[in-house]
Each structure stands twice: as structure tokens, then as C-alpha cells.
Amino acid sequence: MSKSTMDTSQKLTPLVEVGRSRPKTDAGEKTSGRTQYIHDFSMPRMLYGKIKYSDRANARIVSIDTSEASAVPGVKAVITGGDVPEIRFGFLKDNLALKKDRVRQYRDEVAAVAATSPEAAAAAAAKIKVEYEDLPPLFDPEEAMAEDAPLVHETDPRGKEAKDNRLRLPWKFEAGDMKEGEKGSAYVAEGEYEAGWVTHCCMGTSGCVATFDPSDNLTIYSNTQIPSLAKSDFQEALKAMGVDGAVRVVNMAIGGGFGSKLDTYAYEYIAILLAHRTRRPVKLIFDREEEFEATSPRQPVKIKVRQGCDQEGNLTFRDISMLLDNGAYTSWGATTPTVMMMPVSSLYRVPNIRFQATCVYTNNTYAQAMRGYGTPQVTFAIESNLDELAEQVGLDPYEMRMKNANVPNETTPQGFQVTTCGHKRCLEEVAERLDWSSRRGRPQKRGAKVRGVGMASLLHVGGGAKIYKSDGCGTLIKMDDQGWVDVYSGSMEIGQGLETILKQIVAETLGCRVEAVNVILGDTDVCPWDVGVHASRSTFVAGNSALRAAELVRDQILDTAASTLSVPRDDLSLREDTVVCKNDSDKNTPIDKVARRAHFASAGNTMFMAANFYEPDTELLGEDFKGNFSRTYAWGCHGVEVEVDTETGKVDIIRYIAAHDVGRAINPMLLKGQIYGAALMGVGYALTEEMIYQEGRLLNPNFRDYKILTAMDTLPVEPVIIEDPDTDGPYGAKGIGEPGLVPTAPAIANAVYDALGIRLNRVPMKPEQVLEAIFRNQGREIEER
Amino acid sequence: MRVDSETGSVMGASVDQVVSFLVNGDPVRVAVRTDWSLLRILRDDLDLMGSKEGCGGGDCGACTVLVDGVAVNSCVFPAVEVDGAEVVTIEGLEAADGTLHPLQKAFAEYGAVQCGFCTPGMIMAAKGLLDRVPEPSEGQIKRALAGNLCRCTGYNQIIEAVKAAAGAMSR
Amino acid sequence: MEGTQGIHSPRAGGLEYYRPRSVEEAIRLLTDLGEEAMLVGGATDVWVEMRSGKLTPKALVSLRGVGDLRYLEPEGSALTIGAGTRHADVEDSEWVAGNLPALHQACSGVGSRQIRNVATVGGNLCNAAPCADSAVGLLLYDAVAVTQGPAGSREIPLKDFFVAPGLTVLEHGEILARVEVPDSGPRTYAGYWKHTRRRGIELPMLGVGARITFSEDGETVEKSRIALGVAGPTPRRMEEAEAVMEGFPLTEERVLEAARMAAYQAEVRDSFRGKAWYRREMIRVLIPRVLRHAGALEEVAE
């Protein structure tokens, strides 16, 4: 295990930069309109791309007539699947950049245009005529599993005939002995939960600019969250195109990520094809409607859950099975079960686990990664069901949780090695702040409104997640002879503040001003490899990598200083841009002077620079899905007081406590920003957001009808930051990007139960759903008239 | 000069109308087609890229600018209507010497900026409010920003920033 | 439309756009241009519908520059609203907030401040959407639309103004010049509630307005008005429900009965925006709440 030289006594000692609520270093640019997003970027001779989408859910493409489109003035290229090399992409390679012969969903890309203006491109795309032969579509995953269901894909990606619409994915997990677990149970709670499609709604829509140089080298200006992996994907695409060139991925500022850019999309390959065909830069930007329709949302899921416990309430088993609507192609949505296994196997201490997930092809949209990566969906089931189990035992839900809470230094049934664990503290904080003991079980009625309280906790990875062959991140650091520091990291700023965090970590380590540290991100020509901004891993992994590289540079500085000042190395430290000598302050020297001495020495000239590739000491999950795939884990607990209007079904949030086990807050203000933002996204997920599909077609591809929450819906969130420095995190920090929305839905559902005695098992918990449940409780019929 | 969508040729004398207006204090003249929005001429003709297109339909506020002192969604504001008006965009908030406006400083200081895409529109909407109501209540701030969507921040720190800016501006 | 930040006008020759300086000029233009010319107030709705291709006019005649149409003129307890008045003008008017609370509530909730700064009351009425908030508010107060056209001027009670979604009784070339809101009389209690899924920037799932004007004895209902949005093809009054209360002492029972009647008669539909049964139930629940909140009924602890 690679050790950090940070000694444990430093853990919570006051630091200079770490722990400081410093404003984001890019805030000046962002507040003055200077930041360049992909939408703002252009190149000389640039063309505009526009995609023509399918208008059938499932059909054979009989013919495509592009003649009228090509005749539109300003059009430089019109391409279809038939006249470009086949580019396959996606986790199972079952997706094509331009669809050939068949369309399988409304968002299928059938053709594309490049033209000298967006208007010309749009006019031309509208003139492309496609003839279809309709095929029977499947919109229900259960129907898609029936024996006589038509096949969405007749063959698998390798050409082998498909037997049915089930994906051949091995999502099964078992630990312990289910039979023993069931035998030892005095109580069992069973339930079914459902979550549909919601989407990221990044304020900046998707887009890219692709351009080839005369030697066939591709540069793609991008929004991606995975610059290094995208580069590999695009490299493969070039191979498929028969193009022998290098690939450079350059990131513009990203207008929001949340997982939406964790996979490559057809539009990127289409931009590349158009750029190659026309030999000009091609800009392809989604408008908001396209963003809703043609990007991939959160994975919908139908979950069956059973949990059991003994007489005293100790959990004995957890049995979960789920059905995933995979849509017509496969992206990260299909892999969410591998992360869902995490709370399934390890949230609370449960000895016997069984988990199984089935993914089925349909003609619906296909899903991708979205903040939480499956854990919000499955935690909704687990935590709602836990309250039900607690009720059977006669235990208060908080007591039930405390009794079964995770503790430090244990190994979970999935093989996770828990080091630091703030689970109990998070639970305690919530209970205390919500005044749980006097509120729970005593709903407060005022007229038609009832108030209740509920809680739910979460488990997430806190130290990266080895879901790919490497979970590492590389960093290069150099210091020039004026003392300016440049840090090149493979990670990306997606708004979460990574750039600022890295500056703080490096400044802390080198004892220099934050202003002297420059962070360069998002250029694969310049920055080392990183697997991507996901799994809340950037602070931990990129942070550790930057920390170690900075330590190497620090060592170089101290070594040089010790030599030129003739003092023992141990007497020296770095602080306030100065090499400080413990016993002789006369020898204090500005760091930049030391740098010049090294650089311009009479012999042995050197420059202060270093490289580090940090690979967390973790394991890829085995075939049994067991293994310690993160260096540390993070817990949290959300507690909510809701007010339900029993006549309108509306649920209001009166109080919201979000307690998070973060190890160490490198920048408390930015960390709180993650909690506020995630909590509101979670409440939207729980109460108001849904993509409304009708026979595969999206009815609400806009902000009027897709209800993301507004400033007037701002939550009274009280963030509680629990710090227990992690042994492995940079300065003790763990990840926080995703946890904030994992437990919101069950916390709210549990609070609604406290208020009304009604269990809601479907998100979003819209007023209609609540009111219908209230009526059912009262024996009232819904008047359909 | 824009490319005509029908002929594909560069438009010279065939522009539909010419509008003259003040943008961030500077007088400008722009040839516009009648079906263009104010947002388009700000971004494409005047190189003022700070205002963003978030939805194109007046539903998200990312394009908010001030026209004759009031906040409007420039994406649904016809370009021809800006003739004779005074427009202020995010680029016009900072002082000539680059000193940032109290709103800009407060947004930075209070963590109100994450990805930043909604930020210019949010700040302009807040400016529209503070110009009208120098000491707004929290409720007034929320109402004024109700048309500006943000997916990153949850709005909490944005509201704090606007409060702080109001305080700074009244001093 | 990809990055167009405007309208991709499908009409050859593009869109004609006129900015008259007076109502007379506007009427002349409309007459000369013919039926394919559309009038706009702030254009916020029309612009969006043009972008989506729902509307394809040959020309727009914008009243934004006709300053004469933008005014709020109270006279005693009556009010004349120029058709070019922005919703924000109504929102900012303390007079309207104090004297015509339901109208104030209705106009203050339209869209966002940015929309309200541009969208006009006249435009909202002429757009004749089933959900028009200002229409519901104005119906409660027996507002009268006053038009100017080539054939002269007409006075049309607002309850007779709407024909179908997007269609009013206006002839081509006829302009809605102002809305006159008569004195509603002392002892008037009115309110408007916009039922939405989230608190900001919403089109209503349902708009509920109610008003009671008591007679001199302070108990008998002299005038009762119930107006609904999104409960039929146009904003509408629910006159049979009103009759349950009008002329009688106001009691909780009568209010509930009137609400039931309104709910029963409302033409609510199932749509992906909301289920009919739910809208119907909300009519029944919200009418009494609006009246209680307005002060017409004893406030039951809610």
C-alpha cells in the first residue's frame, strides 16, 4: 500500500489551506461571462452539424433520400449509416453511430448534415426523407421478456443469434446463506418499489467540435467527463474509419455533468464523421429538446425487496431482485446493478445477501450514468423497507438503524474493507436535530395538513471505485524559477470545484499561496490519464495523486535547500512561500530563490518537477462481485420533516437535515454546495421529476413540463459535516459528489409514512399518487367521471 | 454579416432591419433578420457570449439580460424590438477598470457558482431585482430568481449571495 | 432548432415585423396585411409557438412600442388596464394588490419576473389559452374588454370574450385596447390560487378564482363569482355553481356545495400534465380555501 507521508497527528490540526472555505478560483471568470463553454467556442471555417432522428420506435429502414437535403445551399455533407464506415460503441458495442437497416427507438440517429449555418443544417435535416417499414415495438420490459416477444436485436454484437431480449449480464450476488438467514428471522418485510426515468438537466447542453488536421489527426473539443477513456473510444472509431491519426480531447468548461457525460454518444462520432468527410471543423450542439430526447437518462428500475431480522431487530438477510428496462442499446445504465450491489450488500450489517438483476431490451430510450449510479433507486427500496421491518419488530426506525449500523474496521459481505465509518454519528446527528424521540410516531395535525418525520441513510464509495482496469489518476507538477506552480491532472472540473480543491491541496503541501498554483485540466495532449469524473472519486483519487506529486516536489525543494543552506533536512519546512529553518530563522529563504538556485546552479542544475500516478490500493470485483473496490467508504443520513396536505396530496419539506461522513472537508463551502445541490436534485427525484413517455415518445422534452425545482422550491437544508479523517484520503478527505441525493426519496417516503401511515413505493411521489393512497385508506373511490 | 438560410449566400443588402441601441453603454448598429432573438445578436454579432441559451423558450433564464432596466429572457425577445433601447448584459456589470460588481463578488464569495452556466443569467436577474428593491427579503429574492434554473447549487448559496450583495450595495 | 436562438421561419422571404407607434397605425397595418398577420403584445408566447412551428404568420404587428396602451388607471375602486400593461406593472401596483387582490395574485404568478416584464395583459387575454391566469382573475371582477377596430369600438364582457383555445371574438384588424374593471363594491373578498407542481415558473395545472361580494347586511351574498382556468377549453365562469351562493347567506355548506357543483361541471381532461379526477378534486378542495383565505369565510385553521 503506497503510504502518504501525512502523519496522523496532522489529521485535524489547523491547516493553512485545507479546511478553508475559499471561493472557487474560476468564479471570477464565471461571474463575468468570460468562461468558454462548448457553445461559445468556434473555429475558422467551422460547419454546423445537425442530426436527423428516427420518427419510429421500431422499424426497418427501407430507404433514405438525401437528395433534397444535399441541394440546400450551404450544405457540405449529408451522411447516413449506409455511406460511412460502421462505428460501434457502448459498453456492449451494440450501438451504432449512425443506424443502418433498423431503428429501435425514437432517438435513433438516422442521418446527419454539416452546413455553413445552423439554419441551413436544420433546413437540410428536415428535408431528409426516410421510408420505414414498421415493426411491432416493445415498451414494457415485462412484455419484452415474454416468450413470443419480438426481438429488439436479432443478433448479439458479435453476430450470434439472440434467443430473447434479455441481456447476457451476470448480475447476481450472494453472500452468506439465504436459507439460514430466513430460518433465523422472526420478522420479514416485503415490498415492491419502482423508479422511472429522470434526467440530468445540465444547464449547458451537450455538444462538441471535431476537427482533423491534414495528417488525419483528430482534435475534439468536448464536454466529456472521461477525457482519457473518450480518447480511447475515439481512437477506436478512427480505426473503424480506416483513419490513422492521433486523437486529442480538449475539454471546454462543462455546463454540468452529473454523470451525463460518462459515456460517449452517437453525436460525437457523427461530428467526427462529418469533420472527416468535409475536412472542416464541425460543431454539433444539442438544443434543449434534443438534450431531453437524445441524451441518456437515469436507469429506471422495478425492485422487489425482502429483509428479515431476528426477535431483537438484528438484520438477518436481504433479498433483492430487480428488472431493468435497458432500452434499445446498452450504456452504463445496464451496469448500475454492479454499484447497486454496494448498498445491497453493505448498507447496515447484514450477514446473508441475495441479489439479482435482469436487464431487458425494449424500444424505449436507453439509460446512462446519473449521480448515484443506481444507489438512489435501490436505497429507496432498502430504506423504505427497513422502516416497514422496524414497525413489525416494534422498534423505532432510528433504533433499528443504530442497532444495525456499520462500524469501523469491518469487512462487509461484499468484501469491502471499512476503515473509517461515520454511520452512527450521522444517524445520531439527524435524530438529535430533528428532535426524533419526541416527534417520531406523533404526527402533528393542523387542519388538513399533517407533519411527520423520517430518515434514511446511505452508503457510497468514498475513495474511488475500481470498476475499470485502473481507478487511477496521474498528475504532473512543475515549479518555475519564479515560484509559480503548474499542476497537470487527468481529472476534470465539472463545476464541483475540483480545480480549487487541487490548488488547495498543492498549496498546503508546498506551503505556497493558492494564487501561485495553476491547475491545467482537460487536454489529453498535456494531462496524464484518469479514468473519469465519477463515483465521487475526484477529491480522493485526483487529490491523492496531486498530493503525492506535490510531496515529491516538496522533497526536492527541501533537499536542495538543505544542501544550499547546509542545515539538516529535518529542520526545514515550507510555509508562506518560504523555506523555514526551525533553529535559525536567518536561514529562512523564499521558495522561488531556492528554485533559482536549483535551476541555475553551477553544477547539477535541475528543475523542480515530479510525476505521480496514484492507483488506489483496491481490487476489481471478482466474478462473484466481491472485492474491496474502494479505498474508503462514506456514509450519510438524511432526516426530513414533511408536511402533507391531505386534501391536495402535496408534500412540503419543512426541515431537511443532511449529515455526511466526509473524512475531512478540504473546502467546507464547496462541500456544502454539493450537499445543497444534490439534496434539491434528490427532492426533485422524489417528488416532481419524471420523463413522461408514451409508446416510446417523450412528451415533456422541455423545462415547462419536466419539473426541475426552482429557487422558490429551495430547501431549508441543514448540512452537517462529520469529520473523522480517513487514513487514505488526501488530508483525510473522502468523496461527496453523489451521496447528497442517495437517501432523499426514502427519507421523504418514511416521513410521509410517519405523517399518514401510508407507504408510497413509486417515485416521483406526485400529489396524485399521495391523494390516491389517502383515498384508498379512507375507502374513498376516485371519481373518474 | 450572416449567411442567408435560403440562398446560402452572405447577406448584404438583403437584411431585414437595422437596429441601433446601446449595449453596456456602447452604441451599436446591427443588421438583423426579423426572426432573430436578442440573444442571437448578442452572441453572434456582438461577441457577448456571457448570456447563454439554456432552453430557447423562456423557461430557464440563462439568457437573462436587462432591457431598459428590466430583466428579460433574451431568447424570446425579438431582436427588432431592441431598437432604441438600453441593454445591459453580464459583460456590462464590471467597472471599466475590471472591478467586479458586488453581485459578482458575492456570488464568488458565497459559493453560489458551480458549473457557472446559469450564473450570468442569475446575476442579471438579481441585478434587476436589486435595482428595483434595494433591500429584498428572502421571499422577494426567491420570486425574482424563480425564472432562473440552476441544477448544481440548490440555490441556497445563491440566495445568500444576493442578500450579501444587497447589503454591500446599500452601504 | 440547433443553436438558432431565433425562429427558423419556414416561410419564403422570412417574417415581416412591424412596430407601429399608435393603435390607429396598428389597425391600418393589420387591415392592409390581411389575415396572415398576427398581433403581439410582448411576443413571449407567440415567439415560442413560432419556434415550434405551431404558428406560421406572415407578419407580426407588435404593440410593444405603443406607449399609449400601457397604463393602470384607477378611478375610485374601478380600474382601467391598458392592453399593453405588463404583468409586472400589475404585480408592482400597490393599488391593485389592495383593491383587486385576486387580479394581483393572478398576474403576479405568471411565468417568471422576466416573462412578466415583457408579457402584456392584453396579449395574455388574446392568446386565449385555457390556463390564462390574468383572464381568470379578471373574470372574477366582471371585467369588460374594450376594442378598437376598423369598424369602431366594441365592449365585450370578458366572459363572452373567449371562444376556444387560441380563439377570441376579435375580428381581424380589431385590437383589444383596454380592460375595464368595474367597482366591485365594498364587502368584496376575492382570491386566486394557481395549483402547480413546483413553486416557480409554472403554467398552472389548475387556476381557481373565487369572489364574494356581500350585500349591506354583510351576510347575504350579493354577487358570487367562480372562475377556473384549465377546466375547459377557455378560462370560464362557473355560473351554476355561483348561483348556489348568490342571494343567500354565506355558509360553509353553501360554499362546499358550490365547489362540488363547479367540480362536477368542470370540463377537465386527462393529459400527461394531470389527471382529470385530480383536477376535479382540486376544484372541490380549492374553492373553499380561496374564499377562506380571502376572508369571505371564517378562517378554519389550516
Give the pLDDT mean for C107-130: 96
Which helix (H) or strand (E) segment holds residue A119: the answer is helix A118-126
| A746 in any annotated domain | yes
pLDDT, tens digit, 9 for 90 and up, residues A274-328: 999 999 999 999 999 999 999 999 999 999 999 999 999 999 999 999 999 999 9
Residue A14, pLDDT > 80, answer no
Same domain, B163 and B106: yes
| Interchain CB distance below 8 Å, C5 and B37 | yes
Q: DSSP state, B10?
A: B
The band of A158, judged by pLDDT with boundaries at 50, 70 and 90, is confident
Lowest-confidence region among A175-184, A772-781, C5-14:
C5-14
Same domain, A731 and A586: no
Radius of gyration of chain A (CA): 27
Cα separation, A532 vs A594, whole angstroms: 36
Residue B13, pLDDT > 80, answer no
Query: What pLDDT does residue C4 have?
Result: 41
Nearest residue on chain A to B53, alpha-carbon basis: A204
Q: Is A47 on the interface with C (CB under 8 A)?
A: no
Burial code of A361-384, b = ≥16 C-beta within 10 A, e = fewer?
bbbbbbbbbbbbbbbbbbbbbbbb
The band of C11, judged by pLDDT with boundaries at 50, 70 and 90, is low
Give the pLDDT mean for C213-228: 95
Same domain, A31 and A43: no
Query: What pLDDT does residue A364 have?
Result: 98
| A185 in any annotated domain | no
- The identity of residue C2, as a single letter, is E
Nearest to B115 among A39, A205, A255 (CB): A255
Q: Is A448 on the interface with C (CB under 8 A)?
A: yes
Q: Is A688 on the interface with C (CB under 8 A)?
A: yes
Nearest residue on chain B to C6, alpha-carbon basis: B36
Backbone phi, then psi, for C201, in 5-degree steps? Answer: 35, 65
Q: Which of residues B66, B92, B118 is at a domain's end?
A: B92
**Mapped to the 3 state alphabet, what secondary structure does A204-248 carry?**
CCCEEEEEECCCCCEEEEECCCCHHHHHHHHHHHHHHCCCCCCEE
Backbone phi, then psi, for C77, in 5-degree steps? Answer: -105, 5
Query: What pLDDT does residue A12 have?
Result: 52
How does the average pLDDT of chain B come out, rounded?
92
Q: Which residues of A touch B143 (CB under 8 A)?
A: 712
Same domain, B78 and B115: no
Same domain, A271 and A130: yes
Same domain, A442 and A500: no
Same domain, A601 and A638: no
Closest CA–CA distance from residue B34 to any residue of chain C (Å): 6
Nearest to B113 among A27, A704, A710 (CB): A27
Query: What pLDDT does residue C301 have?
Result: 39
Query: What pLDDT does residue A758 have?
Result: 97
Q: How many independent structural domains does chain A possess? A: 3
Closest CA–CA distance from residue B70 to any residue of chain C (Å): 7
| A541 in any annotated domain | yes
Nearest residue on chain A to B94, alpha-carbon basis: A32
Q: Which residues of B touch C17 (CB under 8 A)?
A: 16-17, 34, 78, 80
How does the average pLDDT of chain A come out, rounded?
95
| B147 in any annotated domain | yes
Q: Which of residues A588, A614, A640 is at a domain's end?
A: A614
Nearest residue on chain B to C5, alpha-carbon basis: B40
Same domain, B29 and B61: yes
pLDDT, tens digit, 9 for 90 and up, residues C47-81: 999 888 888 888 999 999 999 999 999 999 999 99
| A157 in any annotated domain | no
Closest CA–CA distance from residue C47 to any residue of chain A (Å): 15
| Interchain CB distance below 8 Å, A700 and C272 | yes
| A27 in any annotated domain | yes
CATH number at residue B153: 1.10.150.120
CATH number at residue A245: 3.90.1170.50
Same domain, A395 and A488: no
Cα separation, A113 vs C142, whole angstroms: 55
Residue A6, pLDDT > 80, answer no
| B126 in any annotated domain | yes
| A187 in any annotated domain | no
CATH number at residue A19: 3.30.365.10
Give the pLDDT mean for A225-248: 96
For testing contact with chain C, the best of A209, A707, A775, A781 (most C CBs within 10 A) = A707
Domain hosting residue A280, numbered range: 38-135+205-254+261-294
Record the cell numbers describing residue C149, joined without a space: 377596430
Same domain, A25 and A60: no
Lowest-confidence region among A350-364, A677-691, A720-734:
A720-734
Residue B54, pLDDT > 50, answer yes
Q: Is B52 on the interface with C (CB under 8 A)?
A: no
Same domain, B34 and B85: yes
pLDDT, tens digit, 9 for 90 and up, residues A397-437: 999 999 999 999 999 999 999 999 999 999 999 999 999 99
Cα separation, C19 vs C30, whole angstroms: 12
B-C CB pairs within 8 A amount to: 112
Nearest residue on chain C to B6, alpha-carbon basis: C12
Q: Which residues of C touch B61 (CB under 8 A)?
A: 112, 114
Domain hosting residue B145, numbered range: 102-170
Residue found under cell 462529418: A274
Query: What pLDDT does residue B4 have?
Result: 42
| B2 in any annotated domain | no
User: Which three-class secondary structure state does DSSP give residue C115?
Assistant: helix
| Interchain CB distance below 8 Å, A122 and C300 | no
Q: Which residues of B touch A22 (CB under 8 A)?
A: none
Query: What pLDDT does residue C6 have?
Result: 55
Record the cell numbers describing residue A390, joined without a space: 422496524
Alpha helices in A440-497 (DSSP H): none
Query: What pLDDT does residue A651 have?
Result: 98
Q: Is A447 on the interface with C (CB under 8 A)?
A: yes
Q: B98: which residues sit within 8 A by CB, 6+ positions away?
A: none
| Interchain CB distance below 8 Å, A677 and B93 | no
Give the pLDDT mean for C188-217: 94
Closest CA–CA distance from residue C185 to any residue of chain A (Å): 32
CB B72 within 8 A of CB B7: no
Query: What pLDDT does residue A13 have?
Result: 60
Kindly state the greatest CA–CA separation across chain C: 66
Q: Is C197 on the interface with A (CB under 8 A)?
A: yes
Nearest residue on chain B to A287, alpha-carbon basis: B55
Query: What pLDDT does residue B15 have?
Result: 53
Same domain, B85 and B107: no
Same domain, B112 and B155: yes
| Interchain CB distance below 8 Å, C197 and A39 | no
Same domain, B111 and B82: no
Q: Which residues of B touch A675 (CB under 8 A)?
A: 154
> Is the preceding peptide bond at A297 cis, omega within 30 degrees of 0?
no
Q: Which residues of B touch A701 (CB under 8 A)?
A: none
Same domain, A346 and A381: yes
Query: What pLDDT does residue B5 have?
Result: 46
| A717 in any annotated domain | yes
Closest CA to C123 of C177, C203, C159, C57: C177
| B11 in any annotated domain | no
Same domain, A649 and A662: yes
Residue C202, pLDDT > 50, answer yes
Same domain, B118 and B86: no
Closest CA–CA distance from residue B28 to any residue of chain C (Å): 20
Q: Which of residues B41, B72, B92 is at a domain's end?
A: B92
Nearest to C278 among A119, A123, A771 (CB): A771
Query: What pLDDT does residue A318 have?
Result: 98
| Interchain CB distance below 8 Å, B149 and A203 | yes
Global model pTM greater than 0.90? yes
Residue A759, pLDDT > 90, answer yes
| B39 in any annotated domain | yes
pLDDT, tens digit, 9 for 90 and up, residues A704-748: 999 999 999 999 999 999 999 998 999 999 988 888 999 999 999
Same domain, B68 and B29: yes
Query: What pLDDT does residue B8 have?
Result: 44
Query: What pLDDT does residue A535 have?
Result: 87
pLDDT, tens digit, 9 for 90 and up, residues A48-65: 999 999 999 999 999 999
Give the pLDDT mean for B98-108: 97
Which helix (H) or strand (E) segment holds residue A504: the answer is helix A498-510
Q: Which residues of C touch A707 (CB under 8 A)?
A: 197-198
Evaluated on CA atoms A666, A668, A671, A673, the torsion sign reads negative
Residue C302, pLDDT > 70, answer no
Residue A784, pLDDT > 80, answer no
Q: How many independent structural domains does chain B possess? A: 2
ipTM for the whole complex: 0.95
Same domain, A21 and A61: no
Closest CA to A351 of A190, A186, A178, A187: A178
Same domain, A452 and A493: no
- The identity of residue C162, as a single letter, is F
Domains defined along chain C, listed by start: 16-62 (3.30.43.10), 67-181 (3.30.465.10), 188-294 (3.30.390.50)
Same domain, A377 and A323: yes
Q: Which of residues B70, B92, B114 is at a domain's end?
A: B92
| A105 in any annotated domain | yes
The band of B2, judged by pLDDT with boundaries at 50, 70 and 90, is very low
Q: Is B58 on the interface with C (CB under 8 A)?
A: yes
| B10 in any annotated domain | no
Question: B119-132 and B156-170 helices cross at what angle (nearest 10)?
Answer: 40
